[in-house]
Structure 1
């Protein structure tokens, strides 16, 4: 099987890139979409059917097409859901929107490239003699593509400490990856739960538990005990950040932002004004400055930058006010699974005091894995084969400004791209829809130019 382009992955980056490819490739082109998810494009984030799982960005900024800003709003209106651009729509509705828009493009019979969905995982990808790439699939099949876009995201971080298990045969109540299937159905209404990590994923899990009938106590343990801030409604207009022009030292940048906020400007407006500049600012930092930001400023960046819908924050705050949920700031020392439950030991932040929590479940929500590829056999094989390089800060893979993968000699692989969170080392702000859709459009245009050029040359031969 040979294709002009292969998309590898099943989440938002893949569906967004596919939509832009279908809009830009010539009609005689061919696309292979390789992934093992039955519900292509929705992924874990947008497959949820729980109404309290909300987008963290207002509907007016969530169109999959950068040049059709109201497309998602049009879909909401057509489906009788609403027409407010400030609405924080449910993630399930957004997943349905993605499905419908892709289906509409696939139904078009005019000037549309051929698309084959290949339900399989790719295990290897190597450049071949035809100036393209050869894939080996886990089902034993092989395929060739002139262009490849890796849309595989990054994996979840492992547990910060090793679990001491008393009986290997009993069902495990230490959940290493919160999105693994099945564990929620085993939780009893009164079970005591500890969630490791206090970011957006933690909030999702807390609301999921309550929505499924859980009424027991919930503890949240993270090193700093910081939780995401809410959006305010209606939002205030963004304000341009006053950044120093003669330095990119992290301490100086943060000091300038703090001074602007202390002068009376609401911090949300400063953060929103900073957002369009974030990618260029990140790329102006040296590797040492980026590392310093990740070590010292990242937790505070996350809770101010990645805010949650007001109604989600209200539901979360209610649980804290009622004493159902308690936040602990400290450093995990051990997880000991015993007959009577699980004992966690941690050191309280800023002290040498050791505390214990006894719970029935421990759920890992500590964020993304460093290096970003442990979840994918394909990416690990490509690294071992020298086809891709890991970002030096452990944020994903090395790419250039056009999202093409870098080779060991510093050059790029023509026709080999990565999209989405895998490219955070280059772009940093590349996990939200407004950023990924722009990247996907640019990748699709690069691929379309290569395919059109190759087809013209073939026609002349």
Structure 2
């Protein structure tokens, strides 16, 4: 019996209406983190809040990223920094000790499925806590496809059921699935979404030549999954830049010596912007102040790098305890949203065109163990990594032709493991966001997702007014809040929006 089978259905709950009815659209890690924050505030402040979760997947919590998919995919962040509780960063490790023992809990980088189990159990605990509070969490086991604002509140609808009314709605539909860049969706040997890899890859012959489109963390997982399943044939990773994730280096705590809110306030020009080059100088000054040799990092910003040389360089740096990447990742966590907000549109376009891929590879590094396996596969000749990908075309139903910077490859299978485009909405959110934009609740953002008010995450309507009732988190809000797909960033976003989300009074939003 699943958690959902134990839940009361919305129609079965005949109670007095809660003072505040909150809908959360999405059921992944962001939703679990948000529920935890709401429940904590409700207990602390005595709030009468009722939560409804809209999620079609019966496995609420793990989502696509943390599902049970073998041990080859590791968390790319140390376990001690993974927690849904901002006030208790060791919560995940404590859970591991109780459920899996001290030995597993002492490991830095764990298979992602353990975090998925943790999220599922956190949700089960949240269900119990809410029930004890007298306001059981309701789950609508369907995809939300419409959202509109009316006099009675925010109306959320599904394809197969009536719309329901809420006082607040938080949209956190997660990261979009890979986009079919080359129109291969109808081909039998094209795998458009690699997860779950242990089933999606089952039909691949052990000696087939497999091309993996993408070189980010998902693509790395796909390589390791194939090898773990006994694949012996050639594997080619291809992308436009051929840039692998950086290698995670030891964490170093530090105190800021240059960066501060006061410094940034003084750097803003007459248009309230900070130039991209000024940001580069500020970050470089902070790195120098932390004892980092900036002169030795010039090659790290190159848009095209030799994959093997970069792996060797980063593995050596990790073994030597280099601190530069740890400091850079923390600067990103603390300041990247402010930096993005301060850039002019011209600087944003220049950044996306020249630095985005490099920066994302640095801010989403892979564990050293993973990097070591990739290096072995490269040196054995089974794995190749190619940049300059131009096109992928089917030759027939059993093979494909790929044109890239190094020439042409013919392969038997193509796996799409590309990173979702910046601010991508994806199939899960397509109908919902389309409805929100169509009825004026939201506007599309030119840099991805939908427009939200910076800081509060209140969705901006067709008149340019931020809603007091509708909020957006994560990748959907990345046009205003540059998103690096990290749990600490999500926790920070939740901390900022919570006061507005739970405010006792609000002005009704009326749309003409």
TM-score (norm 2): 0.79
Q: Is the 8 A contact 2:75 2:109 kept in 1?
A: yes
Mapping of residues 37-436 of structure 1, within 5 Å: 37-79=57-99, 80-82=101-103, 87-108=108-129, 109-111=131-133, 113-130=135-152, 132-163=153-184, 172-179=188-195, 183-232=200-249, 234-238=250-254, 240=256, 246=267, 248-254=274-280, 257=283, 260=288, 261-263=293-295, 266-275=323-332, 276-338=334-396, 341-348=399-406, 355-369=407-421, 372-375=424-427, 376=429, 377-429=431-483, 431-436=485-490
Q: Give the stretch that moved more between structures: 268-277 or 210-219.
A: 268-277
Q: Give the stretch that moved more between structures: 251-260 or 31-40.
A: 251-260
**Alignment: residue pair count:** 439
Q: Give the stretch that moved more between structures: 34-43 or 275-284.
A: 275-284
Q: Is the 8 A contact 2:423 2:475 kept in 1?
A: no
Deviations 1:326-359 (A, max 9, x none): 01111313412325621112344xxxxxx21111
Matches of 2:88 and 2:423, distance apart in 1:
35
Q: Give the stretch that moved more between structures: 148-157 or 332-341.
A: 332-341
TM-score (norm 1): 0.87
Q: Which position in structure 2 is the counterpart of 1:8?
A: 25
Q: Which position in structure 2 is the counterpart of 1:20?
A: 37
SS in 1 for 2:448: coil
Task: Report the CA distance between 1:85 and its aligned residue.
Answer: 7.0
* Residues 440/340 of structure 1: CA separation in 2 closer, same or farther (3 Å cut): closer
Structure richer in strand, relative to its length: 1
Task: Report the CA distance between 1:252 and its aligned residue.
Answer: 4.7
* Residues 365/215 of structure 1: CA separation in 2 closer, same or farther (3 Å cut): same
Q: Which position in structure 1 is the counterpart of 2:309?
A: none
Task: Report the CA distance between 1:197 and its aligned residue.
Answer: 1.2
Q: Is the 8 A contact 1:372 1:396 kept in 2?
A: no
Deviations 1:22-56 (A, max 9, x none): 22235643211111011001101111341221111
Matches of 1:158 and 1:279, distance apart in 2:
25
Unaligned runs of 5+ in 2: 1-9, 11-16, 269-273, 297-321, 507-512
SS in 1 for 2:480: helix
Q: Is the 8 A contact 1:74 1:83 kept in 2?
A: no
Matches of 2:172 and 2:462, distance apart in 1:
21
SS in 2 for 1:438: helix
Deviations 1:346-383 (A, max 9, x none): 344xxxxxx21111111122221355224221112212
Q: Is the 8 A contact 1:60 1:86 kept in 2?
A: no
Q: Is the 8 A contact 2:451 2:459 kept in 1?
A: yes
SS in 2 for 1:337: strand
SS in 1 for 2:387: strand
Q: Is the 8 A contact 1:59 1:72 kept in 2?
A: yes
SS in 2 for 1:46: coil
Counterpart of 2:493 (choices 425, 436, 439) is 439
Task: Report the CA distance between 1:204 and its aligned residue.
Answer: 1.2
SS in 2 for 1:224: coil
SS in 2 for 1:331: coil
